[in-house]
Amino acid sequence: MDIYKAFIDELRVVIRQEINDSLEELIKRYAEDKWMTRKELAEYWGVSVSYIDHKIDEIPHSVTTPVAFKKSQVDAWRMGELKNQEIVNSSKVNINNYKKNDFKVGR
């Protein structure tokens, strides 16, 4: 009976640690993935705000005003992993986009 209890106790410790590690990773990832303004994005990338304005139609961003940029999306876009057309926002969905087989979202 003592071996069984020791096994269960050790299993609890391992499971608790795995859950804590997973939660810490999720919290860290969520906290780092924030929304940025044009100015914050320019500072983050080390470029001018006018550069951001010039590239606004290419860089994934919110369709609301003021324009905001999600850190994970702009990082992926800058690394060439994400194109603006892949970002879908339901407020810009139009049935005409589906008819063309060329569904794009943006300004």
Pair 53, 9 in one domain: no
Find, among 85, 72, 74, 35, the residue nearest to 51 by Cα. Answer: 74
The structural domain count of the chain equals: 2
Which residues constitute the domain of residue 94?
Answer: 35-99
**pLDDT per position as a tens digit, 20-61:** 999 888 777 767 788 999 999 999 999 999 999 999 989 999
Give the H/E segment covering residue 70: strand 69-70
Report how far residue 99's alpha carbon sits from residue 8's, in angstroms, rounded to the nearest whole number: 58
**Residue 104 within any structural domain of the chain:** no
**pLDDT per position as a tens digit, 54-98:** 999 899 999 888 899 999 899 888 888 555 445 444 445 444 444
pTM value? 0.49
Kind of pairing, strands 35-36 and 69-70?
antiparallel
Query: CA torsion sign, 57 to 60 to 65 to 70?
Result: negative
Pair 51, 19 in one domain: no
CB 104 within 8 A of CB 85: yes
Pair 65, 28 in one domain: no
